[in-house]
Every structure is written in C-alpha cells, then in structure tokens.
Amino acid sequence: MTAEAHPVSDLPDPRSLGFTVVAEDDLPTELTDLVDQVRTLIDTVAHTEAGSADLAAARELVAEAVKRIDGDRRPIGALVHRSEFEGPVGFGTLTNVVEGPTNPAAPPLRMERAEEGLRAEVTLSGVYQGPPGLVHGGWIAAMLDQALGSASAAAGMPGLTANLDVNYRNPTPLNVPLEITARVTGTERRKVFVAAEIRHNGEITAEGTAVMVQVALPG
C-alpha cells in the first residue's frame, strides 16, 4: 500500500457544490465565548446540588437567553473553513459534535498539524463520563473516529468511515490532559488507511484504525 495524498488542487471548493461556508476567523468572538460559557453551564448543570429556588431561577434565565438568540439559523450541513489548513482540506461541519466550533456539546478538541499527521490535546469534564471517573467508551471511539477522518482529509483525501476498530488498552481518565494523534498509513484505490491513539502521560489508553473511503466528488 502507498500513502500518497490526493493532490489538494484537484479537490473542489465546497462553495461550488452549494454548501454554506463560514470562515472560522469570521465567527464572532461573542459566539465562541458563548459556546465556552454554555459548555461550562452543561458541566455545572450535570453536577449541581443547588436548591429548588436557584434551579428554577436558572431555568428562567436560560429560557430567556434562548428567546434572545433564537432567530435565523444557518442551514444543517454548514461548513467552517480553517485558514491554517491549505485549500479545500480545511473544511469541516460547523456543528460537528466532536470538534464543531459552535457546538457546546463538543469537547474543546482541536486537531492541529504535527510532524506526522495530526495532533490534539483535550481535557474532558464529567459530562463525558462513563464508568466512575473515566471517559465513556463511546466518546473515546468518537474522538478516535474524528481524528482518523481528519487525518485523511488533511492529507488531501477526505472520505467517510467504512470501518472503525477501537482497542481500549487502559482506562481513560477525566479532568486530565489527553493527547490524540492520527496519521495516514496507506492507500488502496479509494480506500485510505488511518491509525490514531489517545494517550495519558505518554501511555496509550485507546487506539483505533479505520478504513476511510474517499468521497466521489464531481469533476
């Protein structure tokens, strides 16, 4: 198997395919700050032992906030473009549940280019808990899937997951820095083979491999 990237210049701009695209740099600071605050709110609500009166007051405040900003909405499938990724490989869904910059349900995960593939650091709160004090296995799989797909796209070969294998090597703890790495390991026609790991203190807690099938884009 070879690991040669598809020429980025051959990939069409999503705008030409009818997608709504927002430049990440154009997202209002007020919106990204709100996303961070709502993420904190989710964690606080999940763990609070506040009394009934405070809970009722908080509920009213949240309801008022929803009324204040509920209006025109971007279409489902809107994309965000990250300028540090050259050309069409810098696009992702704006509300991606693992890495979307406007989705408060997404952990504060951001994949960046590394010497080999991509790398990210993330700390997960108790919102992502499965067993006591540990990250839910489904979220581990989701983060690996995101990293694997991102690595394929960043190499100029965007595609969809055809197969995902996850091995849970050690428990993955909450509230500590985790490192995620991913890279392309080979290609075969439209198939892209990718591998990723999650580490805590340098020790692998989970690893995944996937087969991505490159999207057949209009010529």
Per-residue model confidence as pLDDT tens for the chain (219 residues) = 444 444 444 667 777 778 888 889 999 999 999 999 999 999 999 999 999 999 999 999 999 999 999 999 999 999 999 877 765 567 889 999 999 999 999 999 999 999 889 999 999 999 999 999 999 999 999 999 999 999 999 998 989 999 999 999 999 999 999 999 999 999 999 999 999 999 999 999 999 999 999 876 555
Query: What is the number of H-type helices and E-type strands within the chain?
Result: 3, 9
Q: Which of 217, 144, 155, 143 has its CA nearest to residue 186?
A: 155
Which two structure tokens, joined as six digits, stand for 200? Answer: 């805590």
Q: How many Å from the N-terminal Cα to the C-terminal Cα in the chain?
A: 25
> pTM higher than 0.85, yes or no?
yes
For 150, counting Cβ atoms within 10 Å of its Cβ (0-12 exposed, 13-18 middle, 19+ buried), the class is buried
Neighbours of 148 (CB within 10 A): 27
Asked whether the beta carbons of 172 and 209 are under 8 A apart, the reply is no
Asked whether the beta carbons of 102 and 31 are under 8 A apart, the reply is yes
